[in-house]
Chains A and B, each alone.
Chain A
Amino acid sequence: MKKELTCIVCPMGCQLVVDLDEHNQVRAVDNANCKRGVAYATAECVAPMRTVTGTAPIVGGGIVPVKTDRAIPKELMIDCMMVINETYVPADAPIGTIIIENVLDTGANVVTTKDLHGVN
């Protein structure tokens, strides 16, 4: 069975064509401009993963941008966001501070993406 996918790994957005066998295993990936596209398509057909970005509240007011430091299962994105929204970040946290370790048991940490150190 052939399946079309848009590669989201880089802004090129290659239109990949994935060939799946009867057990939904990836047989071949066509149209990828680079090998990261092949890896993406293979993962996407088995267990789609996404990096989550958003903002978390700062102790004492305000918000700071955050992200997961690696992709997490796609279906956990909204749950991850809910945990982030309840996690307060110290007002002087440097960029890259881990605010949630191993979020939802995914192996990913949530880290800040803006430097609050020396700002607040």
Chain B
Amino acid sequence: MISIDLVIVGGGSAGMSAAVAAYDAGLRSILLLERGNALGGILLQCVHNGFGLHRFKEELTGPEYAYRYETQVLERNIPFKLNTTVLDISPDRVITAINSEDGLFTIRAGAIILAMGCRERAKGALNIAGTRPAGIFSAGTAQKYINIDGYMPGNEVVILGSGDIGLIMARRMTLEGAHVKAVCELMPYSGGLARNIQQCLNDFDIPLMLSHTVVEIHGRERVTGVTIAHVDEKRRPIPETRQYIACDTLLLSCGLIPENELTCGAGIPLDRVTNGAIVDQNRQTEIPGIFACGNVLHVHDLVDYVSEEAEIAGRAAAAFVQGNAAASDREIALRTDGKIRYTVPQRITAADAVSVYFRVADVYRNVQITVRDGDRVIYEKKKAKVTPGEMETVRLSADHLRTLDGNCLEFSLVLIDAQEEEQS
């Protein structure tokens, strides 16, 4: 069995950024394992632009963003293996992997960074009545067909789900000559970025039908149409509003879910809300020496934030191997009130400044984000609007953290009553 200081599982944006950060922190024995036939991960099929505005102050396409990091990996001569599938990770950091060149092999790792990314939720298709003909694709699969394989999956399209991939695909298929007839969204709001609603739907007069869902799929061999309906507040379809739309393709864009089979296999505890590992401020999981970052930890809106998080994990993993990880002097649990669904990290073990990322459960207006240490408010920030589609951040300073009375921080969203506001 070979021994390597740091093994990174996944060569997408998270894995590459983590590798570069670990290298720059002085680590040299690094190995990047990637399942696909190139570094870059999902970015390679995201040919649209909008990546890198924070990182590089310019708007890049997905392949260009990936190329920047691939170049950094190559410049540093960081070793990587492509077409390599990791089969198992043990709690004592032994990795079992396979590829056609080396066969089955095991590696003893000083530290491991999990950077496997996420995949699409499949559940959207399960509860729709009707037939299961050809022509039903997840939005990401359609994206791969069009942008990697160069094959158009259909001409007359209905999209269920208005997450960013669904919106991006509406524009992509329109530009390639398809007719996208509608994007249906079960919720009363879209989970996608406002700019994508504008530039992917409004630009092409594609209707966004909020509080609508597909209730039936029609067709024998190929999809011939779908029946959609308005839903009530409890998301139940209203029968009188059923409406038939002829189409040959149905795309499902029902959200993303971290890909954590290997994490579970290693016995690493997951957060039930994020579906990713529970981590501390260094993105270290509850098993020492195993870190996680990027979409395998929680689904990010922007790749820029994935890179940022991966660098935290990369530096921390390097420090762990080098034996200069700061001793954890405390254990602060971060709790949420339900309106805030989760935080990453979920726990803090040091007194340095920490950025805490979180998502809210619904669209709220006029809110105050509040962090409390027992009864004492240590942080508050007003926001005109928060939505589940946009990740929020709170930056807790070392001062905030040094003077805590308790060992728990409570993150909550206080709705500011408009009237109270006027009186005060």
What count of chain A residues pass the 8 Å CB interface test?
30
Stretch at the interface among B59-67, B255-263, B307-315: B59-67
Please determine whether A6 and B64 come into contact, CB atoms closer than 8 angstroms: no
* Given A65-B147, A77-B175, A95-B67, also A54-B47 (CB < 8 A): yes
A113 proximity list for chain B (CB < 8 A): 47, 60-61, 63-64, 67
Please determine whether B203 and A13 come into contact, CB atoms closer than 8 angstroms: no
A53 proximity list for chain B (CB < 8 A): 47-49, 61
Residue-wise, chain B 41-85 has the 8 Å CB interface mask toward A (1 for contact) of 000100111100100000111111001000000000000000000
Q: Does B123 count as interface, using CB distance less than 8 angstroms?
A: no
Q: Does A60 count as interface, using CB distance less than 8 angstroms?
A: no
Q: Does A74 count as interface, using CB distance less than 8 angstroms?
A: yes
A5 proximity list for chain B (CB < 8 A): 198
Least CB distance, B172 to chain A, in whole angstroms: 7
Q: Does B197 count as interface, using CB distance less than 8 angstroms?
A: yes
Please determine whether A6 and B197 come into contact, CB atoms closer than 8 angstroms: yes
Least CB distance, A92 to chain B, in whole angstroms: 16
Task: Report Cα–Cα, A50/B301, bound state, in Å.
Answer: 22
Please determine whether B50 and A55 come into contact, CB atoms closer than 8 angstroms: no
Q: Does B376 count as interface, using CB distance less than 8 angstroms?
A: no
Task: Report Cα–Cα, A24/B166, bound state, in Å.
Answer: 34
Please determine whether B194 and A13 come into contact, CB atoms closer than 8 angstroms: yes
Least CB distance, B421 to chain A, in whole angstroms: 19
Among residues of B, the one whose C-beta sits closest to the C-beta of A15 is B194
Please determine whether A7 and B67 come into contact, CB atoms closer than 8 angstroms: no
Q: Does B176 count as interface, using CB distance less than 8 angstroms?
A: yes
Task: Report Cα–Cα, A113/B203, bound state, in Å.
Answer: 24
Least CB distance, B147 to chain A, in whole angstroms: 6
Residue-wise, chain A 76-91 has the 8 Å CB interface mask toward B (1 for contact) of 0110010001000000
11 residue pairs A–B, Cβ–Cβ below 8 Å: A5-B198, A6-B194, A11-B193, A13-B193, A51-B59, A53-B48, A55-B146, A55-B150, A65-B147, A78-B177, A113-B61
